Chains A and B, each alone.
Chain A
Amino acid sequence: QSALTQPASVSGSPGQSITISCTGTSSDVGAYNYVSWFQQHPGKAPKLMIYDVSDRPSGVSNRFSGSKSGNTASLTISGLQAEDEADYYCSSYTSSSNWVFGGGTKLTVL
């Protein structure tokens, strides 16, 4: 199972919006609405930000939103804040009854 494809890095200024893409195949992202997004700060465990493509767990800011079109899912962060600077990973359920992660995207807040 190949990893999902994410850009290595994205950046934005405080207050701006950014979008991180996550491209898979018709056997994972395109097959199920089971895409999640995780935020990971250095030295910390990942934190769930979005699940089932666009649902937000309680306690996660509504500045975080998710969507999907075909084999590509996206995470959008609006009103960027310094604390959003972190690594972001997407993941998807697959037709092999497994989970696959993206390679990760480093978000820099300028």
Chain B
Amino acid sequence: EVQLLESGGGLKQPGGSLRLSCAASGFIFNNYAMNWVRQAPGKGLEWVSGISGSGGGTYYSDLVKGRCTISRDNSKNTLFLQMDNLRAEDTAIYYCAKCIGTSGRRPIDFWGQGTLVTVSS
């Protein structure tokens, strides 16, 4: 059974940083690209970043480019998202999502339950 368990959310200070983790199980982790998608309270889905199965390809939304780093540790089946210079508009549920294949072009087929990040002083 595929499982994705996000952690690292919580209350963050404006201008501060966050590091989210996503522990994956139930599939061969390095065979699949992964993404982070966020959803502000009461709003729609917004793609944040993606990474290929090998980790050699990384992709970012224009909204977070320069502030975000996506990475993965295939030996530990874990996906990460580092985001700096946090703003109030970064407040959202952050979902870890698995893709159908190893390429960043393949769509998401499974989502974690998400971790809530609140940016506020």
A74 CB, nearest partner CB in chain B, Å: 17
CA distance A47 to B2 in the complex (A): 13
CA distance A82 to B52 in the complex (A): 38
State whether the Cβ of A100 lies closer than 8 Å to any Cβ in chain B: yes
Let me know if B45 and A48 touch, CB within 8 A.
Answer: no
Tell me which residues across on chain B come within 8 A of A98, comparing CB atoms. Answer: 47, 50, 59-62
CB neighbors of A among B18-51 (8 A): 35, 37, 44-47, 50
B89 CB, nearest partner CB in chain A, Å: 15
Contact of B47 among A51, A52, A91 (CB under 8 A): A91
Let me know if A104 and B44 touch, CB within 8 A.
Answer: yes
Contact of B108 among A3, A36, A103, A104 (CB under 8 A): A36
State whether the Cβ of A15 lies closer than 8 Å to any Cβ in chain B: no
Total CB contacts across the A-B interface at under 8 A: 61
Let me know if B44 and A45 touch, CB within 8 A.
Answer: no
Given A97-B59, A97-B104, A99-B35, A51 and B45 contact (CB-CB distance below 8 Å)? no
Contact of B50 among A46, A99, A100, A102 (CB under 8 A): A99
A7 CB, nearest partner CB in chain B, Å: 13
B108 CB, nearest partner CB in chain A, Å: 7
Let me know if A45 and B47 touch, CB within 8 A.
Answer: no
Let me know if B100 and A51 touch, CB within 8 A.
Answer: yes
Per-residue CB contact flags for chain B residues 54-84 toward chain A (1 = under 8 Å, else 0) read 0000011110000000000000000000000
CA distance A91 to B47 in the complex (A): 9
